[in-house]
Amino acid sequence: MNKYISGKSAFYLSFLVSASLIGATGCAVTGPELANDPAQQLEDDFGGPGGLLEFFESRSEDEIRETLATYELGYVTQASITDCPQTFPTSFRSTWYSLSGETYYIDSAGRPSKAYSYLPPISSEIRNDSCQASVGQWGDAANPGADYDGGHLLGSQLGGWGARANLVPQEANFNRGNYAQLENKMAQCSGLSSGRMLYSITVSYPNGTTLIPGTWNVYIQDRTQGDSVSLNFQNAHQGGPNGTSERDRGVSFLSANGCN
């Protein structure tokens, strides 16, 4: 039995059964850097981002913290996480943060790793230009000759948080090109019913020390229709060799689901 499952309380196991019955599905992000990631294990155990967010919304904070403690993870609904450190201090790590209707995860090395949101409503969030510039500069310094922006996991035009919990070094062409086009298309979902679309981002790091994610994974689910799309990018020029085709798949999915 998986070591993370063995300690689950009765209410958690009941939730997993009910989640499977209602079809809470998601995309499992894979790769060697995630093999021992308890946050990814938690997400996978709940059937993906949708199942985990349903759990966060349907249980009390005490129940959530009890379950996450078996994964050695924290859960916070109010926190001073508006600053811009290269890495968050120990007290902020391995913790999920529910902030302004969005959910963010800071990994065990103090880096932003996951971001979830239900959309719409869709409205622009104020950017933290200073923090964005700093995050991009950290990427440039770590990889001389490359060009990085401070890239949002959840785009600011989608209401994404403006500070470091939602910012990582993102290759500039990818950020301003294929990823921006996908985000702009997502913004066209504003006419849909509230909360119809689940928008989830996971960035994965190639090792425990770098500030620069290697991969960028997007999961979008139409909660009314029940269908979804999973998009996988490299944090590289155009989002990698498949970046344009992945963008096109995402844009086509959103168009087919009424985001026009």
- Alpha-carbon distance 206 to 211, whole Å? 10
- Alpha-carbon distance 219 to 202, whole Å? 8
Q: pLDDT value at position 167?
A: 97
Q: pLDDT value at position 101?
A: 82
For the record, the structure tokens of 19 come out as 């989640």
Q: pLDDT value at position 40?
A: 94
Q: Would you give per-residue pLDDT tens digits along the chain (260 residues)?
A: 444 444 444 444 444 434 443 334 444 444 434 447 899 999 999 999 999 999 999 999 999 999 999 999 999 987 667 789 999 999 999 999 998 789 999 999 999 999 999 999 999 999 999 999 999 999 999 999 999 999 999 999 999 989 999 999 999 999 999 999 999 999 999 999 999 999 999 999 999 999 999 999 999 999 999 999 999 999 999 999 999 999 999 999 999 999 99
Q: pLDDT value at position 198?
A: 97
Q: pLDDT value at position 99?
A: 84
Q: Is 35 exposed, middle or buried (0-12, 13-18, 19+ CB in 10 A)?
A: exposed
Q: pLDDT value at position 195?
A: 96
Phi, psi torsion values for 66, nearest 5 degrees: -65, -45
Domains, the chain: 10-256 (3.40.570)
CA separation (Å) from 188 to 75, 215, 246, 255? 31, 25, 18, 9
Q: Is 137 exposed, middle or buried (0-12, 13-18, 19+ CB in 10 A)?
A: middle
Phi, psi torsion values for 213, nearest 5 degrees: -65, 150
CA separation (Å) from 103 to 153, 154, 204? 11, 10, 17
Beginning with the edge strand found earlier in the chain, give each strand of the sheet holding 95-99 in spatial order. 74-76, 95-99, 102-106, 112-119, 197-204, 215-222, 228-234
- Alpha-carbon distance 139 to 25, whole Å? 34
Sign of CA dihedral 170, 236, 216, 112: negative
Q: pLDDT value at position 77?
A: 87
Tell me the pTM: 0.86
Q: pLDDT value at position 27?
A: 45
